[in-house]
Structure 1
């Protein structure tokens, strides 16, 4: 019986300790991992994936409730994505970006057609961080200004400007790599910095704070405001009613470019092609990556408005990448659009999100005293864990590590031991399964979270 195919193309079965040993040895001896103390980690070797599931070399099965890094929107080994890559490799594996390519042009056309009114073109990058870098560069050249405003509780990537824009602890040790970045506080009604008593009040006060920041920094110095449409790793923070249109109005008032960072929430994650389409707002630039082809080949990009595109009609844009719009990546991106239409992906995300995920998460909040709040949309949700609902004290402190993080780590471990790979961040269990996950698997995964929350409840100290 064949369980998986190894690097040499040889059929193998689970439980091959020698194969697993070699993978572990090569990883520990030669691979340098991101965001890690190299001596403190022991990455789990993975043998294969299929749909919403992946397996380790011992045959342990994990239901992928994080879509890896919230990029595997169409799941592991989707046959139509694999076929598109194979066919493209068979006829033209690569070509430089200065030459026209059918797959690149077709994907750009489809992205523009599914984006905002007034979208004109797409600049392709290799991923989300460099999409952010180039969006900022475009905004600066378009406006002739240098400052860019971004929120605390945000993540925009780990390259120079992107990590400086990031508003969470991963930025701290990287210094100030872009002196033109200014941070401000966005809406977070559950832990309101504005003492708001309703979502509408939170939006109003957050917008007042943003306008004050603009005025104090000098509107004529600000090129862009960049926002994750729905905040991702930092809590699945869904903007309150009126907030994003209010940001758009401030950008218009002061001549500032609005950049929507859709790297994590684009391509169906919230039930729309792009998440901003569910909030009655039109950006000037949109960054994307991850779900555009589920990460099968690295790809990202920037959707560019007519006005900003026209800035560079008679003036060269100062930037480029060797692999911009790589044919293999773009071919799988074109296939993604086909799959979304053929399999009704947006419709199933809306249906299952509203009918299965949200009701069950709200039931868990009623059942488990450790759940302080449930929030989300589509296939993108968060359970914020607390030790006291009245005071809203989090299960673990902000940026906890070591012993201080033990309660949350215990919850995550309970999920993994039961066969669920969760999206875990801070003091939140976040739910972000592949968009092709079956209803049965969604229910099974939510059942596992239900049981793991018993562990969180054991740390509860409130009444």
Structure 2
């Protein structure tokens, strides 16, 4: 086939796809074509490993389920089957799927201006930064906007280095902070780290929740002249398996940082924006960090968006030269519009408080249904609508995910602790939908074989 013919065929292919995008509904024949193209595309051009993974967590041919639309607390596949979303895009959909207020803000901004000039002053970035200064804990003030969680962590690490002139960071075992090289240095799972060693030097890992080991690490670093620049922690570990800190732990870490002149960075990429029953999990524990990292739900499930918010004493190192750390798309008008609308929805609908109330109900009912299944379930734990079901082994967990998917409930494991299945639905999930999930949980659990 000559280049011209190939180009014409490719153009026809793209026009067909664009036509399907414009259609509110697709026919059965179109759905079959989309499914075949998707599976083949993943196998030949994206990564066949995703297909193999889907086969481990779905029954029969359901690995080829292709998502097509979403609304409220649900996804719908290209064939019209609906799934209650208890994965939440790893915590993206806090205000629900396609919340009208967030969609409207982005649509109107898109009609006016999609991306910023990179030179003039963009108003929504300034306005969003002011809002964040008002709603974040304590005296956190200045914001730098990113596109994702790992970018937020990278920016936080650079801010900490500039502030302190130190190069030692303390993170926790089971931590997950992202997979770019700096944030991966804080992430604790060996499988993600080993192929890319050596990572950024200076990182030490201590057991999450062990304040004595944390103190010993600080003392040792000081003795050898490698003073700690910052402690990087998730208030509640997400990918580690929904691990809650012991009582008083975060306050003690805060005090230890103050004693040694180190910063406290809280990675609230997954816990922030109302997920745990407060706008930020730091508020649950009465702790004010020096830097807070946000992403995931920050863009309202509509736009990729993240932020780093820091105290003035930390951020002011960028005042003299604001080009020391930049990003082309971070803080773009569409993302800022989505974030402003998202925060408005969270406050207007009091979703953090709703997450606390619905989460308490959800957790209690799951624990109740789990009684008598101790041979399958090790523990159910959580805070707000951030719940983890830890099974006795990962095989049981995978089979549980298969069963739930068959019942139209989307769940998935956590990246660092494969035995734990997360429950992180939109904070807007209806009680009726929660009850559907609990009924399916009871049914699937009864049918699981050990």
TM-score by shorter chain over 0.5: yes
Whether the aligned pair in 2 keeps the contact of 1:220 and 1:254 (CA below 8 Å) is: no
Which structure 1 residue ranges, 5 or more long, are not aligned?
188-205, 387-394, 397-405
Alignment correspondent of 1:377: 383
Question: Higher helix fraction: Structure 1 or Structure 2?
Answer: 2
Alignment correspondent of 2:445: 453
Aligned-pair CA distance for 1:365: 3.3
Aligned-pair CA distance for 1:184: 1.0
Whether the aligned pair in 1 keeps the contact of 2:132 and 2:141 (CA below 8 Å) is: no
Whether the aligned pair in 1 keeps the contact of 2:167 and 2:226 (CA below 8 Å) is: no
Give matches, 1:80-91, under 5 Å. 80-91=101-112
Alignment correspondent of 1:26: 41
Deviations 1:74-133 (CA, angstroms, capped at 9, x unpaired) = 222222111111100111111144432222122111111110211111000111001100
1:416 is the counterpart of 2:405: yes
* Among candidates 355, 363, 366, match of residue 371 of structure 2: 366
Whether the aligned pair in 2 keeps the contact of 1:410 and 1:455 (CA below 8 Å) is: no
1:185 is the counterpart of 2:189: no
Secondary structure in structure 2 of the residue aligned to 1:270? coil
Aligned-pair CA distance for 1:177: 1.8
Deviations 1:367-417 (CA, angstroms, capped at 9, x unpaired) = 42222222111101112212xxxxxxxx24xxxxxxxxx433211111111
Distance in 1 (CA, whole Å) between partners of 2:171 and 2:42 is: 36
Distance in 2 (CA, whole Å) between partners of 1:376 and 1:9 is: 40
Give matches, 1:56-135, under 5 Å. 56-135=77-156
Distance in 2 (CA, whole Å) between partners of 1:348 and 1:267 is: 12
Q: 1:422 to 1:39 in 2, by over 3 A?
A: closer
Aligned-pair CA distance for 1:44: 3.4
* Among candidates 196, 202, 224, match of residue 174 of structure 1: 196
Q: 1:172 to 1:447 in 2, by over 3 A?
A: farther
Distance in 1 (CA, whole Å) between partners of 2:241 and 2:106 is: 34
Q: 1:445 to 1:40 in 2, by over 3 A?
A: closer
Q: 1:276 to 1:97 in 2, by over 3 A?
A: farther
With normalisation by structure 1, the TM-score equals 0.85
1:294 is the counterpart of 2:291: no
Alignment correspondent of 2:419: 427
Secondary structure in structure 1 of the residue aligned to 2:324? coil
Q: 1:447 to 1:171 in 2, by over 3 A?
A: farther
User: RMSD of the alignment, in Å?
Assistant: 2.0
Which structure 2 residue ranges, 5 or more long, are not aligned?
1-18, 55-62
With normalisation by structure 2, the TM-score equals 0.87
Alignment correspondent of 2:349: 343
Q: Which has the higher mean CA deviation after the structures are superposed, 173-182 or 279-288?
A: 173-182
Whether the aligned pair in 2 keeps the contact of 1:96 and 1:323 (CA below 8 Å) is: no
Deviations 1:407-441 (CA, angstroms, capped at 9, x unpaired) = 33211111111111113231112211011111100
Q: Which has the higher mean CA deviation after the structures are superposed, 264-273 or 104-113?
A: 104-113
Number of positions where the alignment pairs a residue of Structure 1 with one of Structure 2: 416
Aligned-pair CA distance for 1:353: 1.5
Whether the aligned pair in 2 keeps the contact of 1:96 and 1:322 (CA below 8 Å) is: no
